[in-house]
Amino acid sequence: MNAKQQTILLAEDDSDQVLLICRALRKANLMQCLQVVSNGEAAISYLCGEGEYADRERYPLPILVLLDLKMPRKSGFEVLEWLKQQPKLRRLPVIVLTTSKETIDVHKAYDLGVNSYLVKPVAFSDLTAMIKLLEAYWLNLNQQPLVYTD
């Protein structure tokens, strides 16, 4: 796969969390291109290739979505529900990456079709280890589904 096919979309509204995740990705030597959106509406616009995200050369369709649950405009649950209803995008792997350990949130995310639910670790070293495992499984071992574009 070329670099454009290896894009990861991170939907996260907390700039400190974005910084930590980016640092962990670099430390884990994750070479994929990371695109970041800060709210649920922007995540949907990105996935649709609409508005400022219309240029698929600059904003390629991701092979993986890292989704926070507590975001403005549309929550991660709303993004996940929307995504799984899109015939051309519903197979796109989505990993919830959140601080919530609430059983109700875990169950709701799986009911809506999330592929994995991860709780953000507090320690940076643990976050880096999680990112390395995420890469090993989701980007190297896992067989990626075909996701269609228009």
- Distant-in-sequence, close-in-space partners of 79: CB < 8 Å, separation ≥ 6: 11, 40, 43, 44, 67, 71
- Amino acid 82: pLDDT: 97
Buried-state track 23-51, b at ≥16 Cβ within 10 A, e below 16 = ebbeebebebebbbbbbbbbbbbbbbeee
Output DSSP code: residue 121: P
pLDDT over threshold 90, residue 94: yes
Output DSSP code: residue 63: S
98-136 tens-digit pLDDT: 999 999 999 999 999 999 999 999 899 899 899 889 888
pLDDT over threshold 70, residue 15: yes
Beta strands in 1-150 (DSSP E): 8-11, 34-37, 64-67, 94-98, 116-119
Mean pLDDT of the 11-21 span: 93
Determine if the pTM surpasses 0.85: yes
